[in-house]
A = this chain, B = another copy of it.
Amino acid sequence: MKDVARIAGVAIVTVSRVLNEPDKVAPATREAVLDAMRQVGYLPNLVAGSLASNKSGMVAVVVPTITNSIFADTVQGAADLLEAEGISILLGQTGYDDERERSLIATMLGRRAEGIVVIGCTQAPPARALLAAAHVPVVQTWDLVDDPVDLIVGFSNFGAGRAVAAHLVDRGYRRLAFLGGGDPRSYARGEGFRAALHDRGMAAALEVDLASPAAIEAGRDGLARLRGVAPRIEAAFFSTDVFAAGALLGCVQAGIAVPADLAIAGFGDLELAAQMNLTTVRIRGYDIGRGAATMILARLAGTPLDRRTVDLGFELVVRGTT
């Protein structure tokens, strides 16, 4: 920058102005400065700018894993809006590990991210404490709770589980099972499923723990295990479409008719769900990301938010497997 100023024959501050408030500089000098920049191949040091202005121009997005296409949608949604504003994305992957999540959050806060988006509302206490003490907007996503750290964009996992249960019961299925686990949101869907049966005075659902990260194989294995202990089960709700797809595949190979012998429902409405004609719950991952970005941008712009929690809802998509 010093070089640019010297070549253009102006003061350093003028160069800075050409970059940040071009209008306040005479067209002639502006051109001279721009010329000098091209000559030197000048790339503004945004780090120095961040320090001086106390604005990093970065927003952090922390997800369990980007490989899960459902979270990728959220990242994309947030990035599309943020990048358009010249804000860069700091991406963090927790791998479903609490300590890694805490350390990632600490690092990103240290890098002075101007906002932070996290998946889920149930961060472990140390991570939550960091978020609560952060002086930037914090958006929790993918679920709803009564005591958010700051902002929320999500839907009710509990409600989704309940809706699936209601649908299965309406269809006449009685001996039900829930297969899932791993993360808190999957657990919440199981809770809702359970609660719906309890409300109806029905027998509790059988439960099978399936480990994250979601893999097709795990779904198939889970189904096999389930049928080992409860061969007469009538309908199974899997915490993600990936598991359900595996189970469906297992059924085909084992000659189990779906839904006649066994009904199957998933969650997420991934592309493969439509493809396999799978009943599932649609949630709008991309819009969650957009919503989170919108709230952060509003906060940064000083616009007051009309509400701190946005419920994007979910939609039961009934197809051929139930």
Contact = CB atoms under 8 A, between A and B. Distances in A.
Interface of A: 41, 43-48, 50-51, 56-58, 61, 65-67, 69, 72-73, 75-76, 79-80, 83, 86, 88-93, 100, 104, 106-112, 133, 216, 245, 249, 271-272, 274-275
Q: How many copies does the complex hold?
A: 2
A52 B268 CA distance: 46
Contacts of A89: 90-92
A268 to B, nearest CB: 14
A209 B72 CA distance: 27
Given A89-B91, A90-B89, A275-B216, A66 B56 contact: no
A58 B272 CA distance: 35
A93 to B, nearest CB: 5
8 contacts: A43-B109, A47-B47, A47-B111, A51-B51, A76-B93, A83-B104, A88-B111, A272-B275
B79 A93 contact: yes
The 6 A-B pairs of least Cβ separation, nearest first, read A91-B91, A46-B110, A89-B91, A46-B111, A66-B72, A47-B50
A45 B249 CA distance: 51
A112 B41 contact: no
Q: Which of A44, A51, A91, A112 has the most CB of B within 10 A?
A: A91
Contacts of A86: 107
A76 B72 contact: no
Contacts of A274: 216
Nearest to A50: B47
Contact of A107 (B65, B88, B133): B88
